[in-house]
A and B are shown apart, each in its own frame.
Chain A
Amino acid sequence: NAGVTQTPKFRILKIGQSMTLQCTQDMNHNYMYWYRQDPGMGLKLIYYSVGAGITDKGEVPNGYNVSRSTTEDFPLRLELAAPSQTSVYFCASSHIWTGGQETQYFGPGTRLLVL
């Protein structure tokens, strides 16, 4: 099992460019999450999904879009990159809602720099 994989590991974008951060899990987990972590801060939930075809907003969804066409994949889309989106992005997955004592497994992160 590879667990949760994320690509790319690092990316530099110019203001206004768009990109998709990829996330794949091979644990057959229903729940998937996208977080961002700014320097010196904790993680903030951007979007989450409870299963294929179902997504919902987290704490900081503005400027992002997601889709969940399969159980395994949960890509995060940035349409018009802004310097405020410079951050480290983590994808995570869990079998059930993580608040229900379920372990949430994190990917290694994607470091994004918007200039």
Chain B
Amino acid sequence: TQLLEQSPQFLSIQEGENLTVYCNSSSVFSSLQWYRQEPGEGPVLLVTVVTGGEVKKLKRLTFQFGDARKDSSLHITAAQPGDTGLYLCAGDAFNKFYFGSGTKLNVKP
């Protein structure tokens, strides 16, 4: 079982569309991070959210941490082919670090 559940698992969209990826848990996290991973490479950190209700923006990407610090979302506006990759959420709980299973995004030109 995964401590962090991500949805959807796969997403294939056209360039210019908007999308939202969800990361949910029944556990409370002291912080939550979002990563993007390209094939054959390690994950690269996009953002860390710490405060319940926090919203952070990174160009066309908007990250939100739930009020109860149990869930998070990643919204991409006007997706580009360069956004294609595996998006992973990860959280700090029980003095360990847990990753979700990831959302594989494919943006078609």
**Interface of A toward B, CB cutoff 8 Å:** 4, 33, 35, 40-45, 48, 58-59, 90, 92, 97-101, 103-104, 106-109
Contact = CB atoms under 8 A, between A and B. Distances in A.
B40 interface: yes
Interface string B89-100: 011100011111
Contacts of B102: 40-42
In this complex, the member of A45, A92, A100, A101 whose beta carbon has the largest number of chain B beta carbons within 10 angstroms is A101
Contacts of A104: 33, 45
Chain A contact surface mostly: loop
A97 B43 CA distance: 17
A43 B33 contact: no
B88 interface: yes
Contacts, number: 62
Contacts of A4: 42
Interface string B17-35: 0000000000000110100
B44 to A, nearest CB: 7
A108 B31 contact: no
Interface of B: 2, 4, 6, 9, 30-31, 33, 40-45, 48, 50, 88, 90-92, 96-102
B42 A103 contact: no
A109 B4 CA distance: 22
Contacts of B88: 42-43
Given A58-B96, A104-B45, A40 B101 contact: yes
